[in-house]
Amino acid sequence: MRCPYCQALNSRVVDTFRDKTGRVRRRRECRTCGKRFSTIEQWIQQLPLVIKADGTREPFDRDKILRGLRTACWKRRVSATDLERLVDEVEEYILSLGRSEIPSRIIGDRVIEGLKRLDPVAYIRYAIVYLGLEDLSEVRREIDRLLETESGQ
């Protein structure tokens, strides 16, 4: 690692820790000039392209999923940590598939199933858009299915 002060390539690691985003932060000391500096290491993931319903492709965007979840969970008792955990689970799942492209439906199905576990009202909010529920009778049928599932557990 090149020292930002003297450009020497001779440094030693003084301290290492992992931050909340999974990156490794290292505190280093230059053996030439003695000054300290920090570096951040991050694993580079090759995330798949998402195949949209119209056939177009776009890069996987975890922030887009998180925005949708936050909208569905607005004024609900769902913590930001729970939402991050759900997005992490979805991301881990699609990485485990090992594909270079993945249909958006697979991602959406994982998201909606996770949201169903977190908060039923947020699930209905999300389902109205994701499942394309057109009228109150469709929304009612989805609520009835959800209530049947909850009472059967």
Percent of the chain with pLDDT over 70: 95
Amino acid making up residue 142: E
Residue 23 binned pLDDT confidence (cut-offs 50, 70, 90): confident
pTM of the model: 0.65
Q: What is the mean pLDDT of residues 126-141?
A: 89
Mean pLDDT across the chain: 90
Kindly state the tokens that stand for 99: 């594909």
pLDDT in tens, 59-116: 999 999 999 999 999 999 999 999 999 999 999 899 889 899 999 999 999 999 999 9
Instruction: Give pLDDT, residue 40.
Output: 87
Torsion of CA 129, 46, 43, 34, to 10 degrees: -120
Integer Cα distance of 25 and 103 in angstroms: 35
Integer Cα distance of 66 and 86 in angstroms: 9
Instruction: Give pLDDT, residue 153.
Output: 60
Integer Cα distance of 33 and 104 in angstroms: 52
Integer Cα distance of 129 and 24 in angstroms: 38
